Chain A
Amino acid sequence: MADLHHLLDEVLEPQQQDEQPDEQAEDWNEEDREQLTLPAALVEAERRKLNDTPDATDEERLDLGDVTGFTDLKGDTIYSKLQSLWTQELCSPEILPFDNDTVQALLEALETQEERMEELQTQGSSENVHLDALMTRILKIDAERAKFLLSGLLKQRLGKLEEYPLHMREHLDRLSDLEKAYLKEYGTMLERHLRKTVLDHFPQEVFKQLDEPEMIDEPDLETYIFVRCKEDVLVDNATDNTPPDWHVKGTVLIVRYSRIRDLYLENKVELLM
């Protein structure tokens, strides 16, 4: 039994093996107390799980970082950031701020990968031809996966722009420059079409308005979504006449989007699929 308690200690602190018998005796006394001291690796794993960083460090895995080019200096992969961007955009009813850095970094990484694939195809030596072919296929699958996420993200954002074009004029700060140009062009096309088919046949100018306040659709911010708290937060459930609740870090809630909107924009909660 004592071995289980100290199994991880042996791995992390080999120099303390001599002290084990003494520690065992001390531990029995310590266990009488209510608080247990957890092995350091378990604590580390819990902390990592709560912080939601990638599971294994890069040293423990096969180091493909420099091959695929998807790791940036901080060790957090661009790919995982893209994945979280894509998930958040799918879950959120309104359009979220555009993360230009991640997308640009991803595009550069994709270019590097394509160059590397071409290199492998043209310059691979005859001895390693099978290995090169395998490597090319792996790189291709990796690139396809990244492109899938990127196009999913872009398409979701375009879909939101098209659904609420007049409302999006108030959220121009969340769009990239290309999206602003897209919105303008789409709005122009839509207005031109409606004028040609309907509005130009109206007799009076006053009825030809398209952007009166009650005519503008807004996305429904009262939909329920799942969120996980990244810090201890205060959530206001004003409809219940109950006071706001504190929720500790790590709890998963199902709540109306409007209640946690500000918290989300301050990055204190994250949306779950």
Chain B
Amino acid sequence: MNYGQHGRTLLQELKRSEPGHNVDSSASACTIPSYNDLVVGNAIQDLRLHCQALQDQVEATTNNAADSKPSIHVRPSLLLQNAAVQRNKRCLLTYHVVRLQRIQEELYWKQQTNESKVDAKTTNGNLCPAERVFLQEYADLVRHYTRQATNGSINDLRSYTSMPPQPSDRVLVRVMVNMGPMVLDSGASAVLSKGSTHFLLYSDVEEAIREGKVLVLNGEEDE
């Protein structure tokens, strides 16, 4: 009987995989570690043992009469067992709920942008079957709600919330990543070398803005 140590292990795992926790690792660190079936199983087992101990103690001390309460001497022990059970339950529920929240955030809402496209395939392998089912149901629920709430004019909330809306027909942009001479969708061509600024149609550069390769200027910079 472990008095909640396994629960503590689960919480430590969550804490270590928190976004921003690992300063030295790269930005695409995985915030959804692999589902720790082993420790979860241990924690549940621990909880059952405590439950059993609690029940045994109560039965042992109230053996004499059906409605007598346990004597005052065993109450601290009962409280201890109950506290261990509650602690295990709290840790287990926290672990699952936090994982669900991170799954919703990383694997649904951030999918439109390139922020976590790299992680999607690896983290998908980290989910347990129940979590995969939950993610699928969640995606369906949000899509259904969006379509109903906007009378069909918006199909996917993610496409409108990931980036600010188009400011005007054409935008002044500065290139952050060297892309060399390029022909754009509308037929215009430009030499997109790093640091150069251009005044281009928004529709041409929208993808590049989304990916961060090109930065939108608002005309008030010093240079």
| Chain A positions near chain B (C-beta within 8 angstroms) | 103, 107, 110-111, 114, 137-138, 141, 144-145, 147-148, 150-152, 154-155, 158, 162-163, 176, 178-179, 181-182, 185-186, 189-190, 193-194, 196-198, 201-204, 207, 210
Q: Which residue in A111, A141, A190, A194 is a CB contact (below 8 Å) of B165?
A: A141
Q: In the bound complex, do residue B100 and residue A190 qualify as a contact, i.e. CB atoms below 8 Å apart?
A: yes
B131: A residues at CB distance < 8 A: 193
Which B84-119 residues have C-beta < 8 A from chain A?
85, 89, 92-93, 96-97, 100-101, 104
Q: In the bound complex, do residue A202 and residue B51 qualify as a contact, i.e. CB atoms below 8 Å apart?
A: yes
Between A and B, 15 residue pairs with Cβ closer than 8 Å are A145-B166, A147-B153, A147-B160, A148-B165, A154-B146, A162-B104, A179-B145, A189-B134, A198-B89, A198-B96, A202-B47, A202-B51, A203-B51, A204-B51, A207-B51
Contact A154 B157, CB 8 Å, known A107-B151, A182-B145:
yes
Q: Considering the chains assembled together, what is the distance between the CA atoms of A103 and B151 in angstroms?
A: 11
Q: In the bound complex, do residue B148 and residue A198 qualify as a contact, i.e. CB atoms below 8 Å apart?
A: no
Q: In the bound complex, do residue B89 and residue A202 qualify as a contact, i.e. CB atoms below 8 Å apart?
A: yes
Contact A158 B93, CB 8 Å, known A141-B168, A144-B166:
no
Q: In the bound complex, do residue A194 and residue B149 qualify as a contact, i.e. CB atoms below 8 Å apart?
A: no
Tally of contact residues, B, Cβ under 8 A: 41
Any A CB within 8 A of the CB of B223: no
- Residue in A closest to B142 when the chains form the complex, CB atoms: A158
Any A CB within 8 A of the CB of B22: no
Q: Considering the chains assembled together, what is the distance between the CA atoms of A182 and B157 in angstroms?
A: 15
Q: Considering the chains assembled together, what is the distance between the CA atoms of A139 and B97 in angstroms?
A: 43
Which B143-186 residues have C-beta < 8 A from chain A?
145-146, 148-151, 153-154, 157, 160-161, 164-166, 168-169
Closest 7 CB pairs of A and B: A151-B160, A148-B165, A145-B165, A201-B44, A144-B165, A151-B157, A198-B92
Which B10-64 residues have C-beta < 8 A from chain A?
40, 44, 47-48, 51-52, 55
Q: Considering the chains assembled together, what is the distance between the CA atoms of A141 and B166 in angstroms?
A: 6
Q: In the bound complex, do residue B149 and residue A154 qualify as a contact, i.e. CB atoms below 8 Å apart?
A: yes
Q: Would you give the shortest CB distance from B173 to chain A, in whole angstroms? A: 17
Q: Considering the chains assembled together, what is the distance between the CA atoms of A210 and B44 in angstroms?
A: 16
Q: In the bound complex, do residue A194 and residue B96 qualify as a contact, i.e. CB atoms below 8 Å apart?
A: yes
Q: Considering the chains assembled together, what is the distance between the CA atoms of A202 and B89 in angstroms?
A: 9
Q: Considering the chains assembled together, what is the distance between the CA atoms of A210 and B100 in angstroms?
A: 16
Contact A189 B92, CB 8 Å, known A147-B160, A152-B160, A178-B145:
no
B151: A residues at CB distance < 8 A: 107, 111
Q: Considering the chains assembled together, what is the distance between the CA atoms of A247 and B113 in angstroms?
A: 45
B145: A residues at CB distance < 8 A: 158, 178-179, 181-182
New contact pairs (12) apart from A111-B151, A190-B97, CB-CB < 8 Å: A151-B146, A151-B161, A154-B150, A154-B157, A176-B149, A178-B149, A193-B130, A194-B93, A198-B93, A202-B48, A207-B51, A207-B85
Q: In the bound complex, do residue A207 and residue B166 qualify as a contact, i.e. CB atoms below 8 Å apart?
A: no
Contact A137 B161, CB 8 Å, known A185-B141, A197-B96:
no
A144: B residues at CB distance < 8 A: 160, 165-166
A194: B residues at CB distance < 8 A: 93, 96-97
Q: Would you give the shortest CB distance from B126 to chain A, in whole angstroms? A: 15
Q: Considering the chains assembled together, what is the distance between the CA atoms of A121 and B150 in angstroms?
A: 24
Q: In the bound complex, do residue A189 and residue B157 qualify as a contact, i.e. CB atoms below 8 Å apart?
A: no
Q: In the bound complex, do residue B153 and residue A107 qualify as a contact, i.e. CB atoms below 8 Å apart?
A: yes
Q: Considering the chains assembled together, what is the distance between the CA atoms of A26 and B161 in angstroms?
A: 60
Q: Would you give the shortest CB distance from A258 to chain B, in whole angstroms? A: 25
Q: In the bound complex, do residue B89 and residue A186 qualify as a contact, i.e. CB atoms below 8 Å apart?
A: no
Q: Considering the chains assembled together, what is the distance between the CA atoms of A169 and B153 in angstroms?
A: 29
B160: A residues at CB distance < 8 A: 144, 147-148, 150-152
Contact A203 B48, CB 8 Å, known A141-B168, A178-B148, A189-B138:
yes
Q: In the bound complex, do residue B165 and residue A207 qualify as a contact, i.e. CB atoms below 8 Å apart?
A: no
- Residue in A closest to B145 when the chains form the complex, CB atoms: A182
A196: B residues at CB distance < 8 A: 130
Q: In the bound complex, do residue B141 and residue A189 qualify as a contact, i.e. CB atoms below 8 Å apart?
A: yes
Q: In the bound complex, do residue B161 and residue A155 qualify as a contact, i.e. CB atoms below 8 Å apart?
A: yes
Which B119-147 residues have C-beta < 8 A from chain A?
128, 130-131, 133-134, 137-138, 141-142, 145-146
Q: Considering the chains assembled together, what is the distance between the CA atoms of A75 and B167 in angstroms?
A: 24
Contact A155 B48, CB 8 Å, known A194-B93, A207-B85:
no
B51: A residues at CB distance < 8 A: 202-204, 207
Q: Considering the chains assembled together, what is the distance between the CA atoms of A139 and B92 in angstroms?
A: 52
Q: In the bound complex, do residue B161 and residue A148 qualify as a contact, i.e. CB atoms below 8 Å apart?
A: yes
